[in-house]
A and B are shown apart, each in its own frame.
Chain A
Amino acid sequence: MGTVVEASAIATPGGDPSIGALGLADAAARACIERAHRTPDDVQLLINVGVYLDRNMSEPAIAALIQEDIEANLEPSPGGGQGTFSFDVRDGACGLLTAIELIDGLLASGAIEVGMAVATDADPEPGLTEGFGFPALGGALMLSTDEARRGFTRFRSATFTAYADLFSSAIDWRVENGGGRNVLTVEIADDYPARVLECAEVTTRELAEADGLELGEVDALFATASTPGFGQALAQRLGIPPARAASLPTGLDRAHTAGLAAALESSSLAETGTALLVSAGAGITVATAVYRW
């Protein structure tokens, strides 16, 4: 018995460039619920992990807005039942795996029976931000417990704080033209792709050793770090045939918090055998998990 991914989904702006991070999150959540053949009221825990949000909203949790938009347990029903608890996790590109680990804990304790992790990023103020290179993308994963499956069998994460300066973003007040404005700036150092690869390899090997996993026997690798070619490069370093590394769809190879959901679009976890999930981002933090069908 273990925590399994019932369904995943992503949402892109398509023909609506004005859609923001919340709209993408709502769309991904609704698609995920539909794919899982569930209703919004089934979702007892909703964690949003998106970082770049409409107008850089800091309150309330975006998860609460998503919950309202998808109409998940808005009001307690007179006959009882179970509601929805919503909050945000901020762990950069590792957010989805962090949320999965927290949902896994609450599923195991019996506090909830179904949880959904939602990720979303979109340029908060197109044309006014600096260095923002992530595609607008929402993603969602539905998780529950399956008596017949092992699901997630191990999580491991690490932070390499010596590299904390390689990936940063902040909002600063900038004085200009007699007035001023708050400006979001994203800065990613040139050597971030190389360092994040090194860090991810270290943590993934530690995970494999702790889990007794032979890396050469991994059937699928889902790895993202907001940088193109990361999955294939990590597979090569780990001795996993690159063909087993999920590729991100065209235009989404720099996907940020929803990157993992996009990787899962290219290859299903179902009947995969043994899968490795790896996310890496600012910190440098690496989050990893083993998933067994």
Chain B
Amino acid sequence: MAHWMALEGGRNSPKHGAFRSRFVGIGVQFPEGRLTTDELMAATRYHTDIELEQLTGVRERHVVGAGEDSYTLALGAARDALSRAGCTGQDLDMLIVSSISRHVGGMRIQLEPPMSVQLKRALGADRARSFDLSNACAGMMTGVFLLNDLVRQGRIRRGMVVSGEYISELGRNAAQEVRDVMSDQLASLTLGDAGAAAIVERAPDGAVGIEVAGFTTLSGHSRLCVAFPATIGPGTTMHTQAREIHVAGIEESVPRLREVLDAAGLSMDDIDYLIPHQTSARAIEKGTKELSSRLGGTPKNVVITVDEMGNTASTTHFVALWKYLSEGRFRDEDRILLLSLASGLEVGIVIFTVGDLVQRHGQGGGGHGNGS
């Protein structure tokens, strides 16, 4: 059976993998600083009359301070994930860095060598095949998709995908240019900083893990969100046609979700927690309602962290996962659906059962994530 999505796993997988993969460690690193939406909007260059918190639900976000950047966030998150997984860098066969932002040494945007080289050295991941990938806010999910493929085939036993997103600087730049609610830089004002890492490994026989993972790119919408180095100051500016990308995301994700759920023999009612990409609380609430209506089923819970974290780009799903694990909200048997909608337009879906991630994130199991 042909799938529109590139698909791994599920009942109708083209070829069943020899092994099952599972998440074995989720790590985060938040910067020390915090910035409320009120503070950010008070700092805009122009008087805007934009009720950003009311529009998006974003109250505050973490922001990088002195000595912090994409690299330090990624490194902290990677160490946290290794600690949760009970392993070291030496145990990694693959290391993928998936940040959109590549600030190493403050505001410097590093192109070469890829950031994975520095992380490989810092983590002592001597055996790991390492590289960076770039897929907008779907970067970490793309890394999970690739690791799942390689683990299922037995090509690797364990790999890590990690992002360090220092993107609040886009908000600083947007604050200099946004004049009203129609600005194409409005979405930049919702961004927050975070590092996140996920370790995927071969699951023991009989253990739960990743059931299905799928991705596709609906590139007819590829130019709805673009980012470049800024012309007004250091860093980057992002230009988004927010309404168009939201509408396209809902339209395109319905058939893709149906395809992946069908492949797994599941319906939306079987999903205990839906973790969508965190752009805006209002957009998530509206989008979930629409998805449930069209798919004829409703996930039992919908995770929203954008209110207190902001949109942390490629890390959002794993920041949310880490937060709920750390707060003890999941049970071993809970089935999670991660839904990625990102510039491209990328649609990525991963369905997995939590399993012993609950124990790994229990009391006293902590690492370097410094919470929120």
Contacts and interface: CB of A to CB of B under 8 A. Distances in A.
Interface of A: 44-46, 51-52, 55-61, 63-65, 67-68, 72-76, 80-92, 94-95, 98, 101-102, 105-106, 108-112, 157, 159, 161, 164, 167-173, 180-182, 184, 186, 281-283, 285
A213 B152 CA distance: 28
Contacts of A60: 135-136, 222, 225-226, 342-344, 346
A280 B109 CA distance: 22
A161 B117 contact: yes
A242 B8 CA distance: 43
A85 B117 contact: no
B326 interface: no
A39 to B, nearest CB: 16
For the residues of B in contact with A, the DSSP-based class is: mixed
A170 B227 contact: no
Contact of B133 (A90, A167, A169, A171): A90
Contacts, number: 216
B216 A164 contact: no
A182 B229 contact: yes
Contact of B4 (A74, A83, A91, A170): A83
A86 B217 contact: yes
A161 B121 contact: yes
Given A169-B111, A171-B108, A282-B117, A64 B6 contact: no
B228 A91 contact: no
Interface in B148-168: 149-150, 152-153, 155
A contacts with B: majority SS: mixed
Contact of A282 (B15, B102, B114): B114
B228 A55 contact: yes
A82 B228 CA distance: 32
A118 to B, nearest CB: 13
Contacts of B223: 65, 68
14 contacts: A60-B226, A60-B346, A61-B346, A68-B219, A68-B223, A83-B216, A84-B217, A88-B134, A88-B135, A109-B8, A161-B117, A164-B118, A169-B110, A170-B111
A203 B100 CA distance: 30
B4 A76 contact: yes
A110 B101 CA distance: 32
B255 interface: yes
B129 interface: yes
A55 B229 contact: yes
Interface string B236-252: 10100000000000001
B220 interface: yes
A164 B219 contact: no
A72 B6 CA distance: 14
B218 A169 contact: no
Contacts of A171: 108-109, 111, 229
Given A56-B229, A173-B107, A90 B132 contact: yes
A109 B114 contact: no
Given A44-B6, A105-B149, A168 B236 contact: no
Contacts of A94: 131
B146 A90 contact: no
A75 B117 contact: no
